[in-house]
Amino acid sequence: MNGKREKSIFICTKCGHNSGKWLGKCPCCGEWQSFVEREHRASKTSVSASQPVPLQRSSEQSLRRLATEIEEFDRVLGGGILPGAMILIGGEPGIGKSTLLLHILSEIACQELPVIYISGEESVGQIEMRAMRLGIFNPLIYLATENRVEAIVEIVREMRPALLVIDSIQTLVSAAISSLPGSINQVRESAVQLQAFAKENNVPVILAGHVTKDGGLAGPKVLEHMVDTVLYFESDRGNGLRILRTVKNRFGSTNEVGVFEMKEEGLVQVANPSEIFLAERPLGEPGSIVLPSMEGTRPILVEVQALVCPSTLAMPRRTAVGADPQRLSLLCAVLEKKVGLDMHRHDIFLNIVGGLHVVEPALDLGVISALASSMLGRVVPPTTLVCGEVGLTGEIRAVGHVVSRIREAERLGFTRFIMPKSNAERLLGQPGIELVGVATVSALLEVLFEG
């Protein structure tokens, strides 16, 4: 009889914080009633430590990225998939995660490289039916239905594929943990084993993950810290566009986005998203302006719409979709103080058309222009676009990547670009488009509605 009882520890289901006793509130993430008990077993196995190596120039093979030839996907990763990388893709059910994963596998298999798709939710026949619908036929794509992480590691160790896809991480179970699939312990233990395998064998792994009602990835928050890259697959319910956004990337920028469109043949990458976002722009209507936004290194032209109408409420409404609501309130105060527009008696609604969320300061001039246009009932010429940051004193500050924004505007036929004066002075003599520099909000409105 074993006279020594195993010690229990308590783990937060939200962030993975450990405690020797149960706590009502997690001291790490502040979540209430989130601790679950887990039996702690001390490891008795011998451990062979890895040997340290001197810092030196990496080999060309270790730096070579695996390009999928899907430019929108490669862009958000920083140029392709690095060997041994752990990538987590999250999104709502039915948004197209599994479809995107099959497209990725197909493109890599076309390079004469074996790849494997392991599902814990669907049978091989169901996966084959989806691949048939997408027109994907390649004998180098291997399929398997398995949810035991130890068995998956053995399968992949023998096969040594160029890419492993797991759909989804919440379905995996490990024999080392006695809990149900999808629990915090199972998700974390499965991710640990897959991460160890990926790093030791230089096999990249893509994990599909479910999201909660709040829009965050299901499972412990520590899962996002363990992987190298976290991608979110988002959609605007009003159209077929899908936006792949980088939240974390150890090997590239976190500002890049990829744009896809869901069609009958599957996900189709959108090479010119600006044309899609501006396709239904109303002409001759006040409250609409075009802004050249930068998503990472990529310029995307988006329409900024504002609606300003008299309010009967003691506290008029301020609603922003795709932009920061606090920034909207700040810019309304600037318009009232520096230009004299009576904003505090009006309900104000702001919308970035197309489902994009713009966070860069260059959006300020677009918001100011759309608000003034709607408030005054004045129409902005359809071939005019604006870009710039607005300060609290009404000054207009310089922004970056102006040349890229100008080239995108010229490509789509815009003839007039209103920008900060400091930017315009450095870009004199740009052919094909008129550059107008403004230093204050008052000067902006004079130029915007002249004539």
Which segments are annotated as binding site for ATP?
A: 91-98
Q: Binding site membership: which residues?
A: 91-98
Who contacts 411 (Cβ-Cβ below 8 Å, separation ≥6)?
Answer: none
Rounded to whole angstroms, how far apart are CA atoms 167 and 149?
12
- CA 413 – CA 326 distance, rounded (Å): 33
Please enumerate in sequence order all residues whose Cβ is within 8 A of that of 268, keeping only pairs 6 or more positions apart, or say none: 260, 261, 262
- DSSP H or E segment with residue 60: helix 60-63
CB 409 within 8 A of CB 434: no
Query: Six-digit token pair at 273?
Result: 């998203």
- Among 272, 178, 214, 177, which residue's Cα sits nearest to residue 191? 177
Strands, E assignment, 311-345: 318-321
Hey, how many other C-beta atoms are within 10 angstroms of the C-beta on 325? 12
Distance CA 118, CA 143 (A): 6
Q: Phi, psi (5° rounding) for residue 410?
A: -65, -40
Q: What angle do CA 191, 192, 195 make, to 5 degrees?
A: 80
Report the sign of the C-alpha dihedral through residues 323, 212, 104, 115, in that order: positive
Residue showing tokens 């400091």: 422
Tally: H helices and E strands in the chain: 13, 21
